Structure 1
Amino acid sequence: MPEPARDGRHWMQAAMERYDLIAIGGGTAGLVTAAGGAALGLRVALVEREALGGDCLWTGCVPSKALIASARLAQRMRHAADLGLVGASPAHA
């Protein structure tokens, strides 16, 4: 690959010659875009500075959904007797 110019044009030119699609960011949209391009037979590069999956996977959507589901289950366990079931208190770790 040629030496990068101060404005980045050499790097961009080399990347444009090598890849059909460059997805910037490995969050939900970047992963779907890269996978879709690869499925179409395109030469794809995916650039991610941190962990793949983005904020939604690591700190946002998925972890919060797991916490919400756990809280709902704990609430159901506490109120099982209201439904005629043997109630149980969730164990605290």
Structure 2
Amino acid sequence: MAAHLYVVQSSLSKAVVELEAEMGTAIFERSQRSVTLTEEGTRFLSYGRQVVELVVLLERQYQPGAKPLCRVFAVSAQRYAFVVNTFVVLVKEY
């Protein structure tokens, strides 16, 4: 992972430890042979991904020359009337 971020492992490890201290929670559980996400770390990662996604959306929306946001919505369902009716309501609402 450190190579992917173009930093050395020790710098990445230090940054993670500092982040954990700043947030007041353990993101990773460390052992001699492995590193795994804690339950809190899993939530933290989920929130982090949402933040990154929002930054990308903001950049696409407001940076000069940015490509317009293209959204894809797909639905797969059996031919049940309630699915069709629910989908129609959803499309009208949004």
Identify the TM-score tier after normalising by the shorter chain: 0.3 to 0.5
Bigger-Rg structure (1/2):
1
TM-score normalised by structure 2 residue count: 0.37
TM-score normalised by structure 1 residue count: 0.37
